[in-house]
A and B are shown apart, each in its own frame.
Chain A
């Protein structure tokens, strides 16, 4: 059953892809393709539910290579990722139906429909892969399909370069992953993952080498510093539905791959693996959020926010490694639960946000935050749904981001169980930086939402914005709705993540540790039960609604109760105002000193909102301010003034540029060999021939 439905979903996506080719000729193929994509997504969700419920299965084709054959299997680890792929896939397919007409002509629309569904097919294949060959094959298809999708709008400036950077870095990642698989499969070439995970048998040095290779390889996809250069370029360059898929699903594949290889396949981790991963993850998160505060383009901001969230996920994986290497298996499992849970939530929320950005792009013909504004009155639904996404990602209770950020910080606090003071200090430092990151993320989303949607429009395009087609809003509603539901019914998200983490680490009872079964056994949990923990037991399914980092003595929260109390306070205040306050009010113009009439340029701009961080973190950004005046006769009579505030990206300037320059230099030296002279090449041939003769 498990793999049958999976096969059906795969077939649906393949069909959708084929039908997408027909868009070149027939208009109705677009809707058909989208519908097939939706059906495929639903099937994927059902498959995931089955896999989470314990369904197992495997299938294979009789092919044999040093990396394995072609085999599929159903695992709990892949189940949550499958769930998120399905949910986001439904949303994106709906969105695509209304969005692709705005991408371009029939050829481009064909490209989008065909390759988007092809990437979905490749992604679920990656998740179901049972050995290295299948994994790598599906992975490569995914990479190439997304690469072409990114270049769809190739005539806009900067797009081809962005896609090329993506391809180049993905290639490096692919090589690293392949070599890693070769290394761990060196003892038993062609074995499936199941076989490899049961008997690792690797020496410490080889395992560490494999770990580093996998970290680099999956780090490219996950956007770890310093491998993240493609992400802020490629994600904004793609059309909005592709960006949503990239930021939601594809980057989660990086996390999945890392968990699969490092935790499942490599067995017992060395301590430094965890510290390294945690450190890299935290630095990535900080880097991502700092830049997301500054960039004026909405999609770029979301891309940097993706880097930040991924940094957090990888940091949690690192924390799991640390705990496992210190024999704290339950805590290790819990940290992994947080990582997978955040992957699920992030996928739902970020895809909503990117789809919202797509709506803004269509309605206001631009994504420059300093030229937007006032969209809330003009695009109510898109605003509301984007708001859900933004609130969730900003970490506002009771939504998703708050839950995982809270859990992550609590797990870092649990790390005081570690023995050595240096490691506790390290954890404290990581916790400090993560807290800073989360606070800055809230600021960044306030800036984005306020700048784009609130206030008065700052440009004619923003003023003329209109509501977007219904299917686009429906797609956003699916993902946003799924996010809200999983936030308020924690049994869904935590249940899925706990099953996956339990499958990966073989630690039992993670669900009951993190979402104690208060509904089922209230007498065993007196404290939270007395505080009202059984209140919603008739209404909501599952264990309970109280989340805890494996121990009540530390802390616990309950998202539905947070929501209920917020609503109660709001209701009380509203009633009080109704009864006590006066009803009559007068509207009048904005007061600005009675000088000039109000102009939209008198509003705080999005860039100005975070200008303070530009100065505070000026060292990181290489902040430089320049005021240029054009004048007649003397500087006192300036007639135009240009203001520039320059930001330097450190990874690009200090890592990529020197590497590229070095590579160019080396290749110039080496190209001496390619003199173009036929006699010289003949000489090379003779020399190699002689060497081979001598060796053998």
Chain B
């Protein structure tokens, strides 16, 4: 047993200092995709909509007049748009991608005869405005995770959170096996017909106050399975969601950021841009 201790000591400290300011992007994998509308042209917009395998990029109209909508919540990180149009669709390496409101993941661009694409206001959708993060959870958060039908990529990333590189526990965050002790319900996966009832029962078994986090494209929008016959999601159709973490799967640091946003210790990404350096704690 002592040799394990010696081995552990020899391995040294591998834990990232994230979310300390100035530390971001140790991954070289993108956490989400960002639209730089300045370099977008109408034909490119229509071509991108053809490329996209989900509803992340949708376009209507013609090259003369039309609208394109980009929804990072449906982006499954297949990389096609950023390979075709690298200046327009940029992979974001900064993992601070979690948002509070669903609309913060989307943006729209319009073009008309005689002009280039311009950002457009999104239709006002009924959204549930949640109160500010409950002060109770600022320093300690217990997570009840439910896999509502994911491909297990999100679970693998969640398991990485407990490993030394990321070490969830140093931030006061823990996974708990029982919903009775849980503060936040972290849901991955498109909600399948068979998991709908267990998910709702888990939510009901959690005592108030409680938060809900939707992690991954499947939970936010259904991802590749959005129109499937056994899909009951996306999650905000069934439960009030406090935080959305995009990605497929969301990188562990993005998940950490999402948890910190839910706790009120980090600033969410406002639409289209990363939070200012120095915000949050």
Contacts and interface: CB of A to CB of B under 8 A. Distances in A.
**Genuine A/B complex:** yes
Contact of B204 (A588, A593, A595): A588
Contacts of B197: 594
Nearest to B178: A591
A588 B197 CA distance: 16
A223 B199 CA distance: 58
Contacts of B198: 593-595
Most buried by B among A588, A591, A593, A594: A594
B164 interface: no
**Interface on chain B toward A: helix, strand, loop, or mixed SS?**
helix
A594 B201 contact: yes
A594 B202 contact: yes
A103 to B, nearest CB: 48
Interface in A587-604: 588-589, 591, 593-595
A581 to B, nearest CB: 14
A588 B201 CA distance: 10
B207 A586 contact: yes
A589 B178 CA distance: 13
A38 to B, nearest CB: 52
A586 B209 CA distance: 13
A171 B197 CA distance: 68
B136 to A, nearest CB: 13
A595 B194 CA distance: 10
B205 interface: yes
A441 B189 CA distance: 51
B117 interface: no
A589 B201 CA distance: 10
16 contacts: A586-B207, A588-B204, A588-B205, A589-B205, A591-B178, A591-B179, A591-B180, A591-B205, A593-B198, A594-B197, A594-B198, A594-B199, A594-B201, A594-B202, A594-B205, A595-B198
A664 to B, nearest CB: 61
Contacts of A593: 198
Contacts of B207: 586
B277 to A, nearest CB: 40
Contacts of A595: 198
Interface string A589-628: 1010111000000000000000000000000000000000
A588 B206 CA distance: 10
Nearest to B180: A591
Nearest to A586: B207
Contacts of A591: 178-180, 205
A591 B204 CA distance: 11
A588 B180 CA distance: 10
Contacts of B179: 591
Given A586-B207, A594-B197, 4 more contacts: A591-B178, A591-B179, A591-B205, A595-B198
Interface in B163-207: 178-180, 197-199, 201-202, 204-205, 207
Which of under 10, 10 to 19, 20 to 34, or 35 or more describes the interface residues of A? under 10
Contacts of B205: 588-589, 591, 594
Interface string A568-596: 00000000000000000010110101110
B98 to A, nearest CB: 26
B51 to A, nearest CB: 39
A585 to B, nearest CB: 9
Nearest to B207: A586
Contacts of B180: 591
The 9 closest A-B CB pairs, nearest first, are A594-B198, A594-B201, A594-B202, A591-B205, A588-B205, A591-B178, A591-B179, A591-B180, A586-B207
Nearest to B201: A594
Contacts of B204: 588
B179 to A, nearest CB: 6
A540 to B, nearest CB: 46
Contacts of A594: 197-199, 201-202, 205
A586 B205 CA distance: 10
Interface in B54-70: none
A273 B56 CA distance: 93
A291 B68 CA distance: 78
A591 B201 CA distance: 9
A598 to B, nearest CB: 12
Interface in B203-221: 204-205, 207
Nearest to A597: B201
A595 B197 CA distance: 9
Nearest to B202: A594
Contacts of A586: 207
A582 to B, nearest CB: 11
Contacts of B201: 594
A586 B207 CA distance: 8
A203 to B, nearest CB: 67
Interface in B130-185: 178-180
Contacts of A589: 205
A156 to B, nearest CB: 46
A589 B202 CA distance: 11
A591 B177 CA distance: 10
Nearest to B208: A586
A594 B199 CA distance: 8
A382 to B, nearest CB: 32
A461 B207 CA distance: 35
A589 B200 CA distance: 13
B64 to A, nearest CB: 53
Taking each of A586, A589, A591, A595, which has the highest tally of chain B beta carbons within 10 Å of its own beta carbon?
A591
A322 to B, nearest CB: 48
Contacts of B178: 591
A554 B178 CA distance: 48
B211 to A, nearest CB: 18
A588 B179 CA distance: 11
A464 to B, nearest CB: 30
A590 to B, nearest CB: 10
B114 to A, nearest CB: 58
A675 B178 CA distance: 79
A625 to B, nearest CB: 30
Contacts of B202: 594
B32 to A, nearest CB: 31
Nearest to A585: B207
B246 to A, nearest CB: 27
A588 B200 CA distance: 13
B7 to A, nearest CB: 35
A588 B198 CA distance: 15
A593 B144 CA distance: 12
A470 B219 CA distance: 61
A553 B14 CA distance: 60
Nearest to B203: A594
B242 to A, nearest CB: 21
Interface string A217-254: 00000000000000000000000000000000000000
A589 B198 CA distance: 13
A589 B179 CA distance: 12
A586 B179 CA distance: 14
Nearest to B197: A594
Nearest to B179: A591
A594 B144 CA distance: 13
Contacts of A588: 204-205
B185 to A, nearest CB: 12
B202 to A, nearest CB: 5
B115 to A, nearest CB: 54
A289 to B, nearest CB: 35
A586 B199 CA distance: 19
A186 B179 CA distance: 79
A680 B204 CA distance: 92
Nearest to A593: B198
Nearest to A590: B205
A112 B198 CA distance: 57
B69 to A, nearest CB: 36
A455 B204 CA distance: 23
B219 to A, nearest CB: 17
B186 to A, nearest CB: 15
A326 B199 CA distance: 74
A540 B201 CA distance: 57
A594 B197 CA distance: 8
